[in-house]
Amino acid sequence: MGLISSIGLSRRPPPAPDPDAELLARLRGGEEQAFVMLVERHHASVERLARSLLSNAAVAEEVVQDTWLAVLRGLDGFQGRSTFRTWLLRILVNRARSTGVRERRTVPVGDAGPVVDRSRFDASGAWMSPPEHWVEDSQERLLAQGLAEDIHAALDALPERQRDVVMLRDVDGLSAQEVCEVLELSDANQRVLLHRGRSRLRQALEDELGEV
Partner 1 sequence: MFWQRGELACVEMVELITDYLEDALPRAQRRRFDAHIAGCPHCREYLRQMRMTIRLTGVLRVDDMTPAMRADFAELFRRWRAEER
Tell me how far apart the alpha carbons of residues 208 and 212 are, in angstroms, rounded to a whole number. Answer: 7
* Residue placing its CB nearer to partner 1 in the complex, 21 or 148: 148
Among 126, 135, 211, 212, binds partner 1 (CB under 8 A): 126
Rounded to the nearest angstrom, the gap between the alpha carbon of residue 184 and the centroid of all alpha carbons in its chain is 12
Q: Rounded distance, CA 111 to CA 109, Å? A: 6
> Between residues 156 and 184, which has the closer beta carbon with respect to partner 1?
156
Choose, by CB under 8 A, the member of 55, 65, 98, 186 that binds partner 1: 65
Burial class (CB in 10 A: 0-12, 13-18, 19+), 77: exposed
Instruction: Looking at residues 76 to 115 of the shown chain, list those that interact with partner 1 (rule: CB under 8 A).
Output: 114-115
Element (H, E) at 84: helix 84-98
**Residue 146 in contact with residue 54, Cβ under 8 Å?**
no
Instruction: Give the residues lining the site for partner 1 (CB under 8 A).
Output: 30, 32, 35-36, 39-40, 43-44, 47-48, 65, 68-69, 72-73, 114-116, 118, 121, 124-127, 130-134, 137, 139, 142-143, 147-148, 151-152, 155, 166, 170-171, 173, 176, 187, 191, 194-195, 198-199, 201-202, 205-206
